[in-house]
Amino acid sequence: MKKSVISICVGLCAFASNANEKEFDAVLKCHSAADDPGLIVQIAQSDKVIYSGAAGLADLKTKRPLKVDDVMQVGSVTKMFTAAAILKLAENDVLSLHDSIGKFIPDINPKYRELTLFSLLTHTSGLSDYLGDPVVNNVWGDYASLDKVIKIITRLPLSFNSGDTHIYSNLGYILLGKAIEVSTGMPYNQYMQNTFFKPLGMDNTFVVTQGIRVNDVVGYTTNFDAPNKHIKAEKSKDRAWKVDRSWIHASGAIASTLQDMRVWNKALMSGEVVAEKSLNLMTQKVRLNDNSTANYGLGLNVFKLGGEISYNHAGMVPGFFSWHVYLPEHDLVATGMSNQDKYFPGLAILDMVAIQLDLSPKPIEDEAKISSLAKKLVGNYRGHEFQTLSITFEDSQLYVQYEGEKKRRIIPRENNSYSYECSEHYFTLRENNNKMVIVPTHLIHGEQSAYVKL
């Protein structure tokens, strides 16, 4: 029944079984426009879907609205799948994480030959990336075999000694795709289908092996000649945006649905995809040569959201942007997908997660409480590098204005806090060294430099 309703939903539609439904609806509305490309989102906790929503259009020409069961390209979220595939093969003694890539590609650039699979998985190999290489940009609009792709993208020198630092490299994951093909004797897409997608019942997940589009969901990018308009990514004048997916391969060529991503997450985190030891490697921060750590494991970012540990990955390919996040302490998984590559759906997902888990102070609606907070907040403040801001209370509404900028409406919150509209990042008034200060709190980066009341 829900499916039939979704199919006729126009502009914005959502389904929820959660006390925060209205708040989630508001977030979705904040981050979308009915006549623009949009986004689809899903949040599940303890294997129960608590919210699914779709907003915006799948096709600006036909006006077909996005649906929560649409297939979208997930970009670099693919990397968690590729990492799991390598770990699965290591568990079965088909290969070792300590194997060098030269074992699988003997004729590779000699400078790359001794790089280990582990260093490629963790982005600590020393490889740069090929995305900004003009030689590659001039040819990647057309299909190419994996061997041809590798030959062209491996011309550049290493950027640093392996293990010295962490620099994100799509190139490394394409090489991992080749290692999978050589060690299994089958194409990457076939191995993923046989090993993961089919056994897990992920019927709408697959690797895009050629071309740009896979269905009637059109991917859009910004029209730089008219920034308020959207154009099909493949129609962009910027040749860097016309990318045949054969050039993306194991680094970002998977397409999936919200439901399939939830199925994948449950299987991965429960030990159905890889063994516990392998999962621990995926979710453990990599240690560098100087004994420091980077916020990345194997195919997953590892960092805190609002003080809570998370495993996550973003993904962008021309026309599409996605974010997938799991918070293990709450068994909460959320995925957002957009068919506009300049809009990061993680902004909406992060706000929804914050609401669900109470990571930010709740908004205040009581007029007396708002007035009381306003009396404390109103004034002028000076922050980092002498930046100043003013908070005013006009017609029962709080506003903030930074020097040289327009006045912005702010939302009063509990605990002497406030936020901007359409955001769960917040600012808190507190006393510090006998002075009143406003402390900004970013849900990912934590507390920032304070503004002192003058």
Kindly indicate the confidence band of residue 239, based on its pLDDT and cuts at 50, 70 and 90.
low
For 116-148, write each residue's pLDDT tens digit.
Answer: 999 999 999 999 899 888 899 899 999 999 999
Question: pLDDT tier at 411 (50, 70, 90 boundaries)?
Answer: very high
Is 224 a residue whose pLDDT tops 70? no
Residue 73 pLDDT: 97
Q: Is the pLDDT of residue 208 over 70?
A: yes
**Beta strands, E only, 150-211:** 206-207
3-state secondary structure of 15: strand
Residue 385 confidence (pLDDT): 83
Torsion angle of C-alpha atoms 428, 21, 77, 99, degrees rounded to 10: 80
Query: Domain 73-296 maps to which CATH number in 3.40.1160.10, 3.10.20.30, 3.30.429.10, 3.40.710.10?
Result: 3.40.710.10
* Residue pLDDT, tens place only, 261-297: 999 999 999 999 999 999 999 999 999 999 999 999 9
Report pTM.
0.92
Q: Is the pLDDT at 19 greater than 80, yes or no?
A: no
Type and span of the H or E element at 26: helix 21-30
Tokens of 144: 């190419």
CATH number of 367-453: 2.40.128
Per-residue pLDDT, averaged over 220-231, amounts to 70
Beta strand residue intervals within 341-447, DSSP E = 379-382, 388-394, 397-402, 408-413, 417-420, 426-432, 435-442, 446-447
State the average pLDDT over residues 204-231: 82
The domains of the chain are located at 73-296, 367-453
pLDDT > 70? residue 16? no
In the chain, what percentage of residues exceed pLDDT 70? Answer: 93
- Torsion over CA of 444, 288, 102 and 187, rounded to 10 degrees? -20
The pLDDT tens digits of the residues spanning 313-364 come to 999 999 999 999 999 999 999 999 999 998 999 999 999 999 999 999 999 9
Which residue, 184, 220, 248, is CA-closest to 340?
220
First to last CA, the chain: 59
